Copies of this chain bind each other. A is one copy, B any other.
Amino acid sequence: MRRKLTQRGRERRDQLIRCAAQLFAERGYHPTSVADIVECLGVGKGVFYWYFSSKEELLSELLKSSHLSLRRRQQAAIGDEPDPVRRIELGIRATLQWFHEHRDYFAIIQFAATDETFAPVLRRNREVALGDTIRHLKEAIVEGRIPDSDPETLAHAIHGVIDQLTRRYLLETNEPVSRVADAAVSFCLGGLAGGLDEGVSPVS
């Protein structure tokens, strides 16, 4: 469903995605009907199918676009920082900040992860995210800023920490972002310095 869109068209599309995101977050994907989505915008049903070929496609696009938004935020935060370790720190902080401002997406992503249909998009997103982290890690290793160990494993560990801390502290409590970010950063940088060689657990 690639169409030529005018400015107005692009806005409508965004409205639909935002509207759907809110409803999906509130009631879940399946219980939200296409009728609900267009009603919430006060438009006819045809509008939906002008911009998306199916409800599934909308969610896929939502997942892609939210990931893009997060990634842009990270890049903006990192800027042209030369130190790879500091880049990782800035990335972690930006990520937590973003999730804090977009709590809704967390529920949606969590749902998408339980449905095979969206596995490809999520896998893709994850690979991109890991790739970003891995690049910084490799550079940090080359420059001797952190000990030499498998960057992929390190990246997984970092993402695991962010995931868990987001879940627990950003969604379930009112903990201020900065404190959670401090904890995440200090733990991750500590983990990087120590390496992960001595055990199965990223926390050992």
Contact = CB atoms under 8 A, between A and B. Distances in A.
Interface of A: 27-28, 30-31, 107, 110-111, 113-116, 156, 160-161, 163-165, 168-169, 175, 179-180, 182-184, 186-187, 199-204
Contacts of A31: 115
B179 A200 contact: yes
A201 B165 contact: yes
How many subunits of this chain does the assembly comprise?
2
Given A28-B116, A31-B115, A187-B203, 11 more contacts: A30-B30, A107-B114, A111-B114, A160-B164, A160-B168, A161-B203, A164-B164, A168-B202, A179-B200, A180-B201, A203-B203
A201 B166 CA distance: 11
Given A30-B30, A164-B164, A200 B169 contact: yes
A149 B201 CA distance: 25
A163 to B, nearest CB: 8
A27 B116 contact: yes
A4 to B, nearest CB: 34
A138 to B, nearest CB: 22
B180 A200 contact: yes
A107 B113 CA distance: 9
A114 B116 contact: no
Contacts of A203: 161, 183, 187, 203
A194 B109 CA distance: 34
B164 A183 contact: no
